[in-house]
């Protein structure tokens, strides 16, 4: 199987799907680690410590995956809200301050600045009158002009 296909499948899977699959595979993974540790002729105490380290690594990985997934979901929600605001009001651009006033006051500049990085085909950075930072929606005509 192609590694790119595997990576795409993993990226598209929900955190719950990944957790369930990894949880079901955990006994097999532990068995493989026990086999490795037996070949290394570790003592029983060292085996337990090593398996404990593997378990802690697993837990840290699951938590990191959930945190990363949550951040991505927050960015997707912010993107959708900004695009909806621009579309509903027939605007091309909106300032960060106007986003905080009309959409969500909790959106910091750093969150808003990451949106064009994560969604480059939908949003871009914009400078409004007076040098105010903001976001602009990328329209189909802009995409056609670049091609």
Map out the domains of the chain as residue ranges: 3-146
Considering only residues 138 and 143, tell me which one the structure prediction assigns the higher pLDDT.
Answer: 138
**What percentage of the chain exceeds 90 in pLDDT?**
38
Q: What DSSP string describes 106-132?
A: T--HHHHHHHHHH-TTTEEEEE-GGG-
Which tokens sit at 9?
């499948």
Residue whose structure tokens are 């994560």? 118
Which tokens sit at 61?
């990985």
Residue 39, judged by CB atoms within 10 A of its CB (0-12, 13-18, 19+), counts as: exposed
Give the model's pLDDT for residue 98.
93
This prediction's pTM? 0.62
Lowest mean per-residue pLDDT among 47-56, 64-73, 74-83: 64-73
C-alpha span between 51 and 49 (Å, rounded): 5
Give the Å distances, CA to CA, from 118 to 54, 122, 140: 32, 9, 18
Which tokens sit at 48?
């337990």
């Amino acid at each position: 199987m192609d590694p790119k296909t595997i990576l795409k499948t993993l990226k598209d899977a929900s955190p719950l799907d990944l957790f369930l699959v990894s949880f079901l595979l955990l006994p097999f993974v532990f068995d493989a680690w026990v086999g490795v540790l037996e070949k290394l002729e570790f003592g029983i105490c060292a085996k337990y410590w090593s398996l404990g380290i593997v378990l802690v690594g697993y837990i840290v990985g699951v938590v990191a995956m959930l945190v990363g997934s949550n951040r991505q979901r927050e960015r997707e929600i912010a993107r959708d809200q900004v695009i909806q605001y621009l579309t509903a009001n027939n605007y091309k651009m909106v300032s960060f301050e106007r986003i905080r006033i009309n959409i969500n006051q909790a959106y910091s500049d750093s969150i808003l600045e990451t949106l064009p990085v994560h969604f480059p085909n939908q949003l871009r950075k914009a400078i409004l009158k007076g040098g105010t930072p903001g976001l602009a929606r990328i329209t189909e005509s802009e995409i056609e002009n670049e091609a």
